[in-house]
Structure 1
Amino acid sequence: MLSEKYRHIVIEGPIGVGKTSLARLIAQRFQAEVLLEKPDDNPFLEKFYQEPARYALPTQLFFLFQRIGQLRDLTQRDFFENMVISDFLLEKDRMFASLTLDEEELKLYQQIYQHQSPQTSTPDLVIYLQASPQALIERVQKRATPYEANITEAYLSQLSDAYSRFFYHYDDAPLLIVNTEHLNPIDHAEDFDLLLNQIDGMKGRREFFNWSE
């Protein structure tokens, strides 16, 4: 069974791709613990989307300390007692930092990251969800989260490119890259089952799932 094969699964991908919803669905199916980012708790996030240059650093540092705290709480318990599904990798925090911070801010951020980041267990599997910037902006607009109102397609395109570069080099854990352009595991039960079968059947460290109707 999937829950026996993978004790810790991370779902990743750019804003609007559906990683949080998928993490919840998988956790519900296998009665797993879910560990989610909490963007609503970040008091700088809405300001960042309005004035990125001014609020990038406090936004990034808040997320960094939030994620570190969540992972630290997890590692203080018996990590493998329950299956855990998460919607973030701590390592991707540096990717966002390199995208949003200027040179001096990035130097400061990197110093803080090196001193604060905990030693965490490597996931058993990372699922990287992909979608075009056009699809992402449609999904962001559909869910109508107030602080995301100022997100542009240009920013999502830049973010998608950064994710692609990040996972091109990622080799810390087995990786399943899923194109979600024609796959909707959130709203369609048959698509969800297709994805679970793909996950369960993984044999290599890096596989692609590009479903076309």
Structure 2
Amino acid sequence: MLLVVGGMIGLGKTSVSKALGEHFGSEVFYESVEDNKILPLFYTATEKEIQEKRYPFLLQLWFLDTRFKSIKQALVNDNNVLDRSIYEDWYFARKNMELGRISELEMEIYENLADNMMEELKELPKKSPDLMIYLKGSFETVIERIRKRGRDYELDEALVEYYRCLWKDYDNWVMNHYDASEVYTIDMDVTDIVNNEEDKLRVLKEVEEKLKKLRES
């Protein structure tokens, strides 16, 4: 079993991944945040610094590298959960290119590297995840939860439009472009697995049922 947990920044991927890992007795590969030297620079840089230092491109390379390492381990050793996966990286890179933060040449280099990595995954015994758990929510919920978790570098009001740009096309990407596995969607506007035990048990039960159906099909 390999589960990937995806969705917009702030909606609770780490909490959902932790709950799934505890429930299924599986290892969880968490998103690399605390040891990521580029992430605070990415969020706090001025537009001039972004253009000069190329932080968005460097950040995407950082995530591509760390997520490639994680998914290789997860696909070799069965029974794992990934807190965001390499499959979503392209979406973030693309949105940053649309915003002019990543150049077309940088995007070409990024895509060539990502394509090579995906080809390598095809050589592994397990080729892809069994299920993506997609966390969906309104923009208001996204902003509220980003503020609640209180990472200083994420709280600048100037970032709100960046978050909106990411959020507005996320559903479309998952439903029309992601094809590595089936998708189970959780509405985070009405789900709080951290503070509501009933919500947590419901989500775990529904994931179990979805996996059972996939095994039987």
TM-score (norm 1): 0.83
1:116: how far off?
Answer: 3.6
1:161: how far off?
Answer: 2.2
| 1:73–1:176 CA distance, 2 compared to 1 (3 A) | closer
Letter in 2 for 1:110: E
Q: Could you tell me which residue of structure 2 aligns to residue 103 of structure 1?
A: 104
CA distance in 1, matches of 2:199, 2:108: 43
CA contact (8 A) 2:71 2:82 kept: no
Which consecutive residues of structure 2, in runs of 5 or more, have no partner in the other structure?
Answer: 97-101
| 1:114–1:201 CA distance, 2 compared to 1 (3 A) | closer
CA contact (8 A) 2:15 2:193 kept: no
More helix by share: 2
CA contact (8 A) 2:2 2:74 kept: no
Which consecutive residues of structure 1, in runs of 5 or more, have no partner in the other structure?
Answer: 1-6, 206-213
Percent same amino acid at aligned positions? 28
Q: 2:14 aligns with which of 20, 42, 52?
A: 20
CA distance in 1, matches of 2:156, 2:69: 28
Q: Could you tell me which residue of structure 2 aligns to residue 209 of structure 1?
A: none
Q: 1:45 aligns with which of 24, 27, 39?
A: 39
CA contact (8 A) 1:17 1:136 kept: yes
Letter in 1 for 2:70: Q
Local SS of the residue matching 1:181: coil
Q: Could you tell me which residue of structure 2 aligns to residue 208 of structure 1?
A: none
TM-score (norm 2): 0.81
CA distance in 1, matches of 2:199, 2:104: 43
1:204: how far off?
Answer: 7.0
Local SS of the residue matching 1:39: coil
Q: Could you tell me which residue of structure 1 aligns to residue 59 of structure 2?
A: 59
Q: Could you tell me which residue of structure 2 aligns to residue 144 of structure 1?
A: 150
Instruction: Give the 5 Å matches for 1:106-125.
Output: 106-117=107-118, 118-119=120-121, 121-125=127-131
Local SS of the residue matching 2:168: helix
Matched, 1:88 2:84: yes
| 1:122–1:157 CA distance, 2 compared to 1 (3 A) | same
CA distance in 2, matches of 1:37, 1:163: 18
Report how many aligned residue pairs link the two structures: 195
